[in-house]
Structure 1
Amino acid sequence: MNRTLTLTTALCAALSVTAGATTYPLTLTDDLGRKVTLKAEPRRIVSMLPSTSETLCALGVCDRLVGVDDYSDYPAYVTTLPKMGGLYNPNVEAIVARKPDLVLVSKYGKLEGPLTQAGITVLAVNPETYDEVFSKTLILGKIVNREAQAKALVTSMKREIAKVEILTKTAVKKPTAYYEIDPTPYSIGPNSFMGTLLTKAGARNIIPASMGDFPKVDPEFIVKQNPQLILGVDAGTVAARPGWNTITALKTGKVMDIPQELNTLLGRPGPRLPQALRGLAKLIHPELFK
């Protein structure tokens, strides 16, 4: 009986995988608006985004990576792979030398031009909004013939995120917040994946959606908005800025730099998004995690 049940389960699983298998050639429209055709299932992949490297590994195809960008460092396996440069200083010759059948890039940096000229298939997959983190995970799953794994990953991520939201919805006060990602200063709009995390973590973003997802902000605007919480920069830096010593967050000791590990997590629209949200929520509402 048990043997029959086991065989039936295995057969159903095999049929399920077959039914959900990607068929090639596969044509996709990438984030640069280009139609790109994959002739066969990619086996030698160069990833030029840390979040993409993480997602591919989470889908179980880490072993297909033959090169990664300089900032890919998770999981530990990718630190052993050849480095191909960064977004604005990619090593095109090194990438070509790895003989990839697919290079996954950001829509920024203009790397697709020289690589396409070299006869290499290039696809821009660049999640920026919260929903895109999940939709692009599914796209990557389709690209590497791991659609079932991608769906399972998305389901798991959303379940873990919901657990944090249950806690933060009980917060008595949700502070107005300014989140700095660059001292220029650049911040995060509410519709970016980081902005959505900020809201889900129990804060109210002072940056309006009309400013964009990752806007450069007039310092006077921040002073005028007078946030109750400032994240991503230390109190000393804030106090030294003209006019910022009047901001409530500084007066009440609610200026918090973000620990490096959490800062890295928060900047990556990938499979560790739930951990990023939990870490941010703990900073904003430590009382909920005792």
Structure 2
Amino acid sequence: MKGILTLITLSGALSGAAAATSYPLTITDDLGRKVTLKAEPKRIVSVLPSTSETVCALGLCDRLVGVDDYSDYPQQVTKLPKVGGLYNPNIEAMVALKPDVVLVSQYGKLAEPLTQAGVTVIAVNPETYDEVFSKTLLLGKILNREAQAKTLVGKIKGDIARVEILTKNAVRKPTAYFEIDPTPYSIGPNSFMGVLLTKAGARNIIPASMGDFPKVDPEFIVKANPQLILGVDARTAGARPGWSGISALKTGKVRDIPAELNTMLGRPGPRLGQALMGLAKLIHPELFR
């Protein structure tokens, strides 16, 4: 019996060792740069709210030593030093925190000045639905939390599947326009938000050819005549030239997005399933009575 227990213990130890990341680790980041981490990062700065959430969901909130101005979840990160944002970064503050790695977006041009200051920078920026999962796994590898990353991906997919079971029963799936900025900017069907819109039981009026987060000609929206408008209030939408004749306005199917849900929907991270649930309730309240 003792021999069997020893074998089981040894097997577990070996499998744990196999799952561990080996350092030095070289990866290609979202800027196409080859970056080498000499050792497991113990001091992490995150300059993306979704990345901050993912780091915490991997059980490493205590390794975050600084975050961007918009990171606000979980509550623990609100107490951390703020280092600006992608477009108004405080490079000096980041360097002063002596991070082992700074996790950035592919936007904002932070990599060069931080690298020149001797800081290791990795750009991890999910934009498509599938990238939410692949980049979560990549972060797991970078931070030596591969097993936790796989578990997290499974949880997110499970949360999403539970909502899909309900929305598949929707009798009608309305054509929808989702506004993320009054310029107006919208979401393409292949972006992570676009996939959520489809999974929530709507049909996106924006074609894939326009891109993932396109600026849209208001006349295109009028011609598309969506049955549902999301992300703007009815008064604002109705005041726009030609919009009063859109089906969604005529039938009162214009829905502004509550602030907390809007934040979740804009972050390609661990709360994607919760975001989908909130969106599905807006589109198909009849399924949740």
Alignment-derived partner of residue 42 in structure 1: 41
For the structure 1 residues 237 and 16, does the alpha-carbon distance in structure 2 shift closer, same or farther, using more than 3 Å as the test? same
For residues 75 and 201 of structure 2, the distance between their equivalents in structure 1, rounded to whole angstroms, comes to 32
Cα distance per residue 1:214-269 (max 9 Å; x no partner): 00000000000000000000000001000000000001000000000000000000
Identity %: 80
**Structure 2 regions of 5+ residues with no counterpart?**
none
Distance 1:32 1:170, change over 3 A: same
2:52 is matched with which residue? 53
1:135 aligns with 2:134: yes
Counterpart in 1 of 2:90? 91
1:23 maps to 22
**How much does 1:11 deviate?**
5.0
Distance 2:284 2:146 in 1: 36
Letter in 2 for 1:38: L
Give the drift of 1:160. 1.3
* CA RMSD of superposed structures (Å): 1.5
**Count of aligned positions:** 289
Match of 1:271 in 2: 270
Distance (Å, rounded) in 1 between the aligned partners of 2:166 and 2:27: 39
CA–CA distance in structure 2, aligned partners of residues 4 and 148 of structure 1 = 27
**Deviation at 1:4?**
9.3
Aligned-residue offset at 1:18: 1.1
1:1-290 maps to which residues of 2 (within 5 A)? 11-290=10-289
Whole-Å Cα distance in 2 between the matches of residues 63 and 10 of structure 1?
Answer: 29
Give CA-to-partner distance per residue, 1:32-88, whole Å, 9 cap, x none.
000101111111110000000000100011111100000001111101100000110
TM-score in terms of structure 2 length:
0.97
Change (3 A) 1:247 1:101: same
Q: Structure 1: which 5+ residue stretches go unaligned?
A: none
Amino acid at match of 1:86: G
TM-score of the superposition, structure 1-length normalised? 0.97
Question: How far apart are 1:159 and its partner, in Å?
Answer: 1.2
How far the C-alpha of 1:15 sits from its partner, in A, is 2.9
Shift of residue 14, structure 1, vs aligned partner: 3.2
Match of 1:83, SS? coil
